Amino acid sequence: MGISNYQMSSVIALLPEVGLLVLAGVVLTMDVLLKDNRKHLIAVTTAVGSLLIILAALMYSQPSGDLIWGGMVRDDMLAFVFRLAFIFAGGITAMFSIGSKDLAHRGDYYAIMLGAVIGMCFMASAADLIMLYLAIETTGIAGYLLAGYVRTDDRSAEAGLKYFLFGAATSAVMLYGFSLLYGFTGETNLSAIAPILASGTVSVSAICAIVVLILVGVGFKIAVVPFHFWAPDVYEGAPSPVTGFISTASKTAGFAVLLRVFIYGLAASEYWLPAMAVLAAVTMTFGNLVALAQTNIKRLLAYSSVAHAGYALVAFVAYSELGVASVIFYLIAYVVTNLAAFGVVIVFAHTAGTDDIQQYAGMSRRSPYLALAMLVAFLSLAGMPPLAGFFAKFYVFAAAVKADMIWLAFVGVLNAIVGLYYYLVVLKVVYVSPAPDGAGSIDIPATCKIALVVLSLGIILMGTASSPWFNWAMKAAQDLF
Amino acid sequence: MYMGFPILSVITLTPVTFSLVLFLFPADKKKEIRLTALVAASITFALTIVAYFGYDMETAGYQFVEKYNWVESLGISYYVGVDGISLPMVLLTGMVIFTGVLISWGIDDRPREFFAFLFLLASGVFGVFVALDLFHLFFFYEIAVFPMYLLIAIWGWKVTREYAAMKLTLYLFIGSVLALVGMLAMYFVSGLGTFDMIALQEVQFSMQFQKLWFPFVFFGFAVLAGIFPFHNWSPVGHVAAPTAVSMFHAGVLMKLGAFAALRVGVMLLPDGARFWLPLIVFLALTNVVYGAFVAMKQRDLKYVIGYSSVSHMGLVTLGVATLNPQGITGAGLQMFSHGVMTALFFACVGVVYDRAHTRDIPSLGGFAGKLPWVTVAFIIGGFVSMGMPGFSGFVAELPIMLGLWSAGTVSSEYFIAPYYTWIVMISVIAIAITASYILRVVQQVFFGKMPTEFEGHITHSSGKDKIAIVLLAAVLVLLGVFPGWMAPLISSGAESVMAVIGGI
C-alpha cells in the first residue's frame, strides 16, 4: 500500500514549511559546531537556504487549490504567494542581520526567525480556526523573542515585553471571537462556516460581535488604528533587522489572515465594510500625520507602516477581485520596499551607530550608492514611478474608484501627498545637508550590499514590468471568490 | 515606428538609460561624466530632429505609433505616437536638454547625480508628450515631477531652494493625484476596460459626469501650466532652480501641464470643457494681465522672467480655451516659441549670474560690452516676448488673437461671446506691458555703465554657452521669418484636436 498519491501531494504542498524546519535544524547545528570567527556563515546559510526553498516551491509545490490535511490547510494561490513573500523576507532579513553586531553571530536568533516564518506560512494557508490560532501564536511568540532578543539593551527588552503584553491580550480577545464563531456555527473550518453565516441563521448582532473581536487580534498584527499603539515603541526598541522583519512579514501575515477570515470565512456578512472604510481612512491619516513629527528614522518608518496598512485596507474594503489583488500586490511591493528602507537604516547604524534622522546629513557624499538605495526605497514608499510603490498605490486607488468609494480614494491620494512630504524631508537631509565634521565613508557589509541590490532591482522591476506580479496577485485573489 | 525603427521609444528611453550609465562612473571622474552627458543629450537631440523631419505631413494624424501590452488585465498599454501638437514639443525637449547640458558644464558639486536626475526628468517629459495611453501619460508625468525636487533642493539657489523645491513638488503632486482620480473615474465609467486615449475619446460621457470631473482633470494638470491662482510655485521655483533646471522647468515642464490639460481634459471631456470655459478664460486672462503687472515690479532678474512665463502661459491657455483651430494652432506655436524663448532667457540670466553673482536689476549694468552674444540673444528673446513681427512670438500670438476674435463671432448663444472683443484687447495691452518690462531689463542690465565692483572680473561667455544661446536664438528668428516649417504641422494637429472635440 504505502503512501497514497493523495497524501504524497499533501506532503509536497508543505514542502516550504518542511524545508524551513530542516533549515532551522541546520542553523542550530551550525551554531554548535562552528567556531566563533566563522559564524557569519549561519546568516549566509539561512539566506541561501531560503532561496533554495523558494526555488523548490516554485518547481514542485504549485498550489492545487484543495483543502488538505483534514481541512486544516488550504493549498491555494493566495497562501502560495504569501508564503514565498515570507520566506523571501526571512532570507533578506538574515542577510541584513550581518550588519547588526548583536545578532550577526547568534545561531539561535536565525532559528527563531525561521520559526516565525513557519508560523506566518501557516497563517497564510490555515483554513481552520484551530490551525489559524496555532499559527498566529507560533508567529507571535517567535516575534516577542526576536523583539526582545538583545537582553543587554533596555529598549530591546522593553520592546519584547510590550510586544508580548499587547500580543497576548489581543490574541486572547481574538480567541474569544473564534470561540463565539464556533459556538454559533458549530464548525471550526472556515469553508463550513461561510455557508452557515450566509444562510442567515446567525443573528446580525452576534456576527458583529465576532467581527469586532477578531478584528482586535488581526488589527494588532497589521497595526491599524486603534490597535497600533505598540508599533512605534516596538519598532524603535527592537534590533533593526527584527523591526524590518516584523514591519513587513508579520504585517503581511496579518493581512493574509484578514483576507482569509473576512472574505473566505465571513463572506456573507458585509456589515463590517463601512466601518472598515472609516478605519482605513483614519489609519492612513493618523499614521501619516504623526510620522510628520518624528525625528528617529525607525519611529518614522513605524508610523509610515501604520499608514501603509491603511492604504492596503482601502483596497480591502473595495471588496472585489481587483481589490484583493491590489491588497496582495501592495503588500508584496511593501515588503520589498520597506525591507530595503530598513536595510539602509541597518547599514547606516552599523557605521554611524545612530537612528537619528539629523545624523543622516550628508549621507549622499559619504556613500552615494547607499543614498541611491535609500532614494529608491523612500520614493517607492511615497508611490513614485518607476518604482513598485507607484503601481501598488495606483491599483489600490483604482480598486477604490471602481467600488465607487470616491471619497476614500480622495482621502488616499491626499494622504499620499503628506507621505511624500516626510519622505522628501528625509531625502533632503541625505542629499542636501552637509555631512558632520569628520564623518567618513560608510562601510557596507557584503551580504547587506547584495540584499540592497536585489531589493532595489526588485523595486524597479515591480515598478516597470508590473504585469506578471499583478497577474499573480489576480490569480491569488480569484482563489478567494 | 519610423522605417522599422522604434524612434519614439528610443527618444524616451535614451536619457534614462544614460542616467543609469552615469552611475557606473566614479564620482570624481567629472570630465568623463560631463562628456557622457553631452553625448547622451546630443544623441537625444539628433533623434528628435530626425523624428521631426521624418513626420509625414501629407497623412498627418498619429505617426511612429508603437503599442505593447503593459498590464494586460487592466488594459494598460505602452502606447506611443506623435501628432502635430506633440511633435514640436518633442523637438523642443530635445533642444532644451541639449542646451541645458551645455549650460550646466560648470556644475561642480556631484555632476554625476545632477545629470542623472536631469536625464530622468527628460525621459519623463518625452514619455508624456508621446503618450497615447492615459496610464502611460500619468506614469511619465510623475517621473517628470519628482526629480525637480532634488535638482532644485541640491543644486539650487541656497537662499530659497528648500522652500521652493518642496512648494513646487507639493503643488504639482496635489494637482496630479486629483487628475489621477478623475482619470480612473473615466476609465471605469467608460466601461471599455482600456486606458487607450484614442478609444476613450470616442466615448460619450454623460454631461453630468463631464461637468463633475473636468475640473479635477483639467486644473490638476493646469497647475503645472501655472494657471492662476495655482501659479505661485512657478516663479519661486524658477528663481531657486539652477540654470538648466530653470530652462527645463519654464521651457518644457509648464508645457507638459498645458499639453496634458488639453490632451486629457479637453479632448476626453469636451462637454465639460465647454461648460467650464468661461472660468478658464477668466483665469487665463488673469494670468496674462496679472503676470505681466507683477513682472513689471520685480527687481530680481529671474523673477521677471518667472512672472513673464506665468503671463505667457496664460496665452497658451487662452488659445486652448477658444476651442477653434486658429486658437489651438496658436497655443501650440506659443508653447514651442515660449519654450525656446524662456530657455534662452534663463540661459542668458544664468551666464550673467555666474559672473555677477547677483540678479538684482538696479545693481547690474553695462554687460553688453563684455557679453555681446548674450546681449543680442536676450534682446531677440525680448522681441519674441513682446510679439514683434519677424520673431516667433508674433507668429504664435497672432493666431491666438484671431482665434479669440472668431470665437466671439461663432458662439453667439454663449453668454461670454460678446466679451471676446474685450478679452482680445486686454491681452494685447498686456503684451504692451511686456514690452515695458523687457525693455527696462535690457536697458538696465546690458546697457548703461557697468558698476565699478564688476569691472575687471567679468569674463567673456564660454564657447559652450555661446553654442547654446545661438542655437536657441536662431530657432526663434527662424520661426519668426519662416513659420512654414512648423505652423502647418501644428495646424494639422489642431485640426485633429477639433475633429475630436467638435468646436464650441
Give the B window 11-30 contacts with A, CB below 8 Å.
23, 27
Contacts of A298 (CB under 8 A, 6+ apart): A235, A236, A240, A243, A345, A355
| pLDDT 10s digits, A377-410 | 999 999 998 999 999 999 999 999 999 899 999 9
Q: Do A470 and B71 touch (CB under 8 A)?
A: yes
Out of B101-115, B145-159, B455-469, least confident range: B455-469
Q: What cell numbers appear for A21 in the block?
A: 524546519
Mutation to test the B interface, candidates A311, A410, A422, A428, most B Cβ within 10 Å: A428
Shortest Cα distance from A398 to chain B (angstroms)?
6
Asked if residue B229 has a cis previous peptide bond (ω within 30° of 0), the answer is yes
Would an 8 Å CB–CB cutoff place A432 in contact with chain B? yes
Span A355-384, mean pLDDT? 92
Would an 8 Å CB–CB cutoff place B162 in contact with chain A? yes
Shortest Cα distance from B416 to chain A (angstroms)?
33
Would an 8 Å CB–CB cutoff place A475 in contact with chain B? no
Of the ranges A57-71, A270-284, A306-320, the best mean pLDDT one: A306-320
Nearest by CB to A471, which of B27, B73, B139? B73
Using an 8 Å CB-CB cutoff, list chain B residues near A402.
Answer: 184, 188
Span A52-62, mean pLDDT? 91
Could you tell me which residue, B3 or B50, shows the higher pLDDT?
A: B50
Supply angle C-alpha A63, A479, A190, rounded to 5: 95
| pLDDT 10s digits, A159-199 | 999 999 999 999 999 999 999 999 999 999 998 998 888 88
Q: Is the pLDDT of residue A3 over 50?
A: no
pTM: 0.93
Q: Is the pLDDT of residue A5 over 70?
A: no
Q: Do A421 and B166 touch (CB under 8 A)?
A: yes
Nearest by CB to B181, which of A385, A391, A397? A397
| pLDDT 10s digits, A417-455 | 999 999 999 999 999 888 888 778 888 999 999 999 999
Q: Is residue A86 very low, low, confident or very high in pLDDT (cuts 50, 70, 90)?
A: very high
Span B150-160, mean pLDDT? 87
Q: Is the pLDDT of residue B443 over 90?
A: no
In chain B, DSSP finds a helix count (H) and a strand count (E) of: 20, 2
- For B114, the closest chain A residue by CA position comes to A431
pLDDT score at B459: 78
Give the CA distances from residue A100 to residues A241, A350, A377, B398, B400, in Å, rounded to whole numbers and listed in that order: 7, 6, 20, 68, 65
Q: What's the rounded Cα separation, in Å, for the pair A474 and A315? A: 13
Q: Do A431 and B154 touch (CB under 8 A)?
A: yes
pLDDT more than 70, % of chain B: 98
- For A474, the closest chain B residue by CA position comes to B73
Q: What cell numbers appear for A479 in the block?
A: 482563489
SS3 B192: coil
Mutation to test the B interface, candidates A432, A433, A441, A471, most B Cβ within 10 Å: A432
Q: Is residue A474 very low, low, confident or very high in pLDDT (cuts 50, 70, 90)?
A: very high
Shortest Cα distance from A384 to chain B (angstroms)?
7
Would an 8 Å CB–CB cutoff place A385 in contact with chain B? yes
* 3-state secondary structure string across chain A: CCCCHHHHHHHHHCHHHHHHHHHHHHHHHHHHHCCHHHCHHHHHHHHHHHHHHHHHHHHHCCCCCCEECCCCEECCHHHHHHHHHHHHHHHHHHHHHCCCCCCCCCHHHHHHHHHHHHHHHHHHHECEHHHHHHHHHHHHHHHHHHHCCCCCCHHHHHHHHHHHHHHHHHHHHHHHHHHHHHHHHCCCEHHHHHHHHHCCCCCHHHHHHHHHHHHHHHHHHHCCCCCCCHHHHHHHHCCHHHHHHHHHHHHHHHHHHHHHHHHHHCCCCCCHHHHHHHHHHHHHHHHHHHHCCCCEHHHHHHHHHHHHHHHHHHHHHHCCHHHHHHHHHHHHHHHHHHHHHHHHHHHHHHHHCCCEHHHHCCHHHHCHHHHHHHHHHHHHHHCCCCCHHHHHHHHHHHHHHHCCCHHHHHHHHHHHHHHHHHHHHHHHHHHCCCCCCCCCCCCCCHHHHHHHHHHHHHHHHHHHCCHHHHHHHHHHHHCCC
Could you tell me which residue, B2 or B114, shows the higher pLDDT?
A: B114
pLDDT score at A2: 41
Would an 8 Å CB–CB cutoff place B170 in contact with chain A? yes
Nearest by CB to A417, which of B73, B139, B173? B173
Q: Do B27 and A368 touch (CB under 8 A)?
A: yes
- For A365, the closest chain B residue by CA position comes to B110
Q: Do B73 and A474 touch (CB under 8 A)?
A: yes
| pLDDT 10s digits, B117-153 | 999 999 999 999 999 999 999 999 999 988 899 999 9
pLDDT score at A351: 87
Q: For chain A, what are the domain ranges? A: 271-481
Continuous segment of H or E residues that includes residue B70 = strand B63-71
| pLDDT 10s digits, A93-148 | 999 999 888 888 888 999 999 999 999 999 999 999 999 999 999 999 999 999 99
Q: Do B181 and A410 touch (CB under 8 A)?
A: yes
- Cβ pairs A/B, distance under 8 A: 88
pLDDT score at A410: 92
Q: Which residues pair with B68 in a beta bridge?
A: B78
Using an 8 Å CB-CB cutoff, list chain A residues near B162.
Answer: 428, 432
Contacts of A425 (CB under 8 A, 6+ apart): none
**Which has the closest alpha carbon to A238: A335, A148, A354?**
A148
Q: Which residues pair with A464 in a beta bridge?
A: none
Q: Is residue B239 very low, low, confident or very high in pLDDT (cuts 50, 70, 90)?
A: confident
Span B324-337, mean pLDDT? 92
Continuous segment of H or E residues that includes residue B66 = strand B63-71
Mutation to test the A interface, candidates B173, B178, B186, B233, most A Cβ within 10 Å: B173
Q: Do A413 and B140 touch (CB under 8 A)?
A: no
Mean pLDDT of chain A: 91
Using an 8 Å CB-CB cutoff, list chain B residues near A372.
Answer: 23
**Which has the closest alpha carbon to A20: A70, A74, A57, A72?**
A57
The DSSP letter of residue B393 is H
Using an 8 Å CB-CB cutoff, list chain A residues near B27.
Answer: 368
**Which has the closest alpha carbon to B410: B313, B283, B277, B289?**
B277
pLDDT score at B1: 64
Q: Is residue B458 very low, low, confident or very high in pLDDT (cuts 50, 70, 90)?
A: confident
Of the ranges A327-331, B192-196, B361-365, the best mean pLDDT one: A327-331
Q: Is residue A1 very low, low, confident or very high in pLDDT (cuts 50, 70, 90)?
A: very low
Shortest Cα distance from A323 to chain B (angstroms)?
13
Mutation to test the A interface, candidates B25, B73, B158, most A Cβ within 10 Å: B73
Q: What's the rounded Cα separation, in Å, for the pair B357 and B220? A: 36
Q: What's the rounded Cα separation, in Å, for the pair B496 and A443? A: 58
Shortest Cα distance from A74 to chain B (angstroms)?
26
Q: Is the pLDDT of residue B412 over 70?
A: no
Q: Is the pLDDT of residue A64 over 90?
A: no
The angle, 0 to 180 degrees and rounded to 10, between the axes of the packed helices A230-237 and A154-185 is 140
Q: Is residue B406 very low, low, confident or very high in pLDDT (cuts 50, 70, 90)?
A: confident
Q: Is the pLDDT of residue B204 over 50?
A: yes
| pLDDT 10s digits, B46-84 | 999 999 998 888 887 888 989 999 988 899 999 999 998
Q: What's the rounded Cα separation, in Å, for the pair B116 and B20? A: 7
Give the CA distances from residue B410 to residues B54, B192, B417, in Å, rounded to whole numbers and listed in that order: 36, 35, 8
Span B284-301, mean pLDDT? 89
Asked if residue B362 has a cis previous peptide bond (ω within 30° of 0), the answer is no
Q: What's the rounded Cα separation, in Å, for the pair A296 and A349? A: 12
Q: What's the rounded Cα separation, in Å, for the pair B412 and B424? A: 16
Q: Which residues pair with B82 in a beta bridge?
A: B63
Mean pLDDT of chain B: 88
